[in-house]
Chains A and B, each alone.
Chain A
């Protein structure tokens, strides 16, 4: 980090304020002149994009809550009231419903980026763990939000997912009853889901603050995975990254707007425009697309309890990532083997997402089992093994210095062939 710089209040008022509440100093040190590695690529803009997603969801959500009625008799119609009668209600509701999809899309990219560049490694373990907490909260919030329109998919999705709790031996049934406030998904369930769906985004907001705080203690990782050494490696956050992040956000927003204005229902399920009927189950129950990979893992396992455990395990395992991958070299750019396995991991996740929407039989079941096994093997086997046996490519000394760091790696082989690629990487990335 850059320690050369100090905030100095310029005029009388800011001096007065600085002694009492150093708000400007805080903003300056954490936002404006915060030293940021100069080689961050566009994958590093998703932090900002995600912040905007959260803010969008909270604002549109508060507005929707002004018109929505959390009652099984009125919920469905109140949504249609929003869509038809409330001024710009359709815009606000479509922004919120598609916004959830955008949020998850961005968070997946953000997480894959962290995996690729080793952003979870020392000293950033806490940032990663807080990130997983946020992800978990997002899933819970998204799931509860999907129940609120009280369509067929809302109702049956809620029924199927809450019933997973019942698989827990002995305490399962009473816990399920406690969760639902009854013996099936009904009005008490809808009311508490609404309450929690309103609460959780603010909890997420709180954890996001911790996430960013932790980030500002260690500083950003960067595509080389090499720690910042001096001020030559960094540029101030503003204007460089405010503008770059905003540019990326506009690109993201254009895609977002395409969904809101021209294809607002493609990411949802038609059955959710049928009012919930507790006596009639739809032909296929599928969760929202962003939960499909987890749903596929659940159904890949023949044993119900094991399926539930593995599904939750697929997220829990992420908490242990910093200790599963002990390789000192962070970025996959210098880890040729990890790179290949990472690519396969991305493919397995996408495949799981695809399979989550298919009936679990025949080739689909086989593929989801293979993908599930690979998902866990990637974290529990491949990462620890690679940490021991992988020989990284030669690395430059620093972000601004393309010369090979010969103190760490023997210069015998690999240097000559490796040099051009990293030189290009570190210099021309921005």
Chain B
């Protein structure tokens, strides 16, 4: 009570209060992080974010449907004729121009996310006007390279990130 110098020096007083307030605000703000991060995929969900698919039993012209991140993945082993058609049609005037070679890592294998790019339905294999997939919801036709050819879908079927672990295993994600 005898020390009046502090009271006459507002800057020092303000400094203490401001530091304290900044400290408190920092603490309160960092509290938000755990509450936000808990909304992100949990460890068990992230662990499933990449899967391995065994393709050794797929015959030529056959296909496999696997689930990846809750979405179907179409893995198709294409015949020589199908590959030829797909490459030949590269030169056509496509709604979403992409070369077949840019959509595959190995010509024999087409790997696409089986979700119609229009509104998220799952297209049906081996149907439609172009030998590929047909989406029953609004009538989108995809070819054997998964490219949109006719109908309301704006883009080609998405190619997921994948790699060949060996000749029998594809790792997706």
Q: Do A and B come from one complex?
A: yes
Q: Which A residues fall within an 8 A CB radius of B? A: 59, 63, 66-67, 81, 84-89, 91-92, 246
Sample (17) of A-B pairs whose CB atoms are under 8 Å apart:
A59-B35, A63-B35, A63-B38, A66-B38, A66-B39, A67-B42, A81-B44, A85-B42, A85-B43, A86-B38, A86-B43, A87-B38, A87-B42, A87-B43, A89-B38, A91-B34, A92-B35
Smallest CB-CB A-B distances: 8 pairs: A88-B34, A85-B42, A85-B43, A85-B44, A87-B37, A86-B42, A87-B38, A88-B38
Interface residue ranges of B15-32 to A (CB < 8 Å): 24
Cβ contacts under 8 Å, B39 to chain A: 66
**Separation in Å of the A88 CB from the closest CB of chain B?**
4
How far apart are the CA atoms of A289 and B73 in the complex, in Å?
A: 53
How far apart are the CA atoms of A59 and B32 in the complex, in Å?
A: 11
B34 and A92 form a contact (CB under 8 A): yes
Q: Is the interface of A mostly helix, strand, loop or mixed?
A: helix
Cβ contacts under 8 Å, A84 to chain B: 43
**Separation in Å of the A274 CB from the closest CB of chain B?**
22
**Separation in Å of the A243 CB from the closest CB of chain B?**
8
| Residues of B within 8 A of A (CB-CB), count | 12
Query: Residue B56 at the A interface, CB < 8 A?
Result: no
Q: Which B residues fall within an 8 A CB radius of A? A: 24, 33-35, 37-40, 42-45
The CB with the most chain B CB atoms within 10 A, among A63, A86, A246, is that of A86
Cβ contacts under 8 Å, A86 to chain B: 38, 42-43
How far apart are the CA atoms of A88 and B42 in the complex, in Å?
A: 9
Q: Is the interface of B mostly helix, strand, loop or mixed?
A: helix
**Separation in Å of the A55 CB from the closest CB of chain B?**
11
Q: Nearest chain-B residue to A90 (Cβ)?
A: B34
How far apart are the CA atoms of A349 and B37 in the complex, in Å?
A: 42
**Separation in Å of the B56 CB from the closest CB of chain A?**
32
Interface residue from A63, A89, A92 paired with B42 (Cβ < 8 Å): A89
Assess A87 versus B35: contact at CB under 8 Å? Given A81-B44, A246-B24: no
Q: Nearest chain-A residue to B37 (Cβ)?
A: A87
How far apart are the CA atoms of A84 and B45 in the complex, in Å?
A: 12
How far apart are the CA atoms of A87 and B39 in the complex, in Å?
A: 8
**Separation in Å of the B47 CB from the closest CB of chain A?**
9
Cβ contacts under 8 Å, B42 to chain A: 67, 81, 85-87, 89
How far apart are the CA atoms of A84 and B43 in the complex, in Å?
A: 8
Cβ contacts under 8 Å, A85 to chain B: 42-45
Cβ contacts under 8 Å, A87 to chain B: 34, 37-38, 40, 42-43
Q: Nearest chain-A residue to B40 (Cβ)?
A: A87
**Separation in Å of the A249 CB from the closest CB of chain B?**
10
How far apart are the CA atoms of A216 and B45 in the complex, in Å?
A: 50
Cβ contacts under 8 Å, B38 to chain A: 63, 66-67, 86-89, 92
How far apart are the CA atoms of A89 and B44 in the complex, in Å?
A: 12
**Separation in Å of the B28 CB from the closest CB of chain A?**
11
A86-B38, A87-B38, A88-B35 known; 15 new pairs, CB 8 Å cut-off, are A59-B35, A67-B38, A67-B42, A81-B42, A85-B42, A85-B44, A86-B43, A87-B34, A87-B37, A87-B42, A87-B43, A88-B33, A91-B34, A92-B34, A92-B38
How far apart are the CA atoms of A63 and B40 in the complex, in Å?
A: 12
How far apart are the CA atoms of A59 and B44 in the complex, in Å?
A: 24
Cβ contacts under 8 Å, A63 to chain B: 35, 38
Interface residue from A81, A88, A246 paired with B37 (Cβ < 8 Å): A88
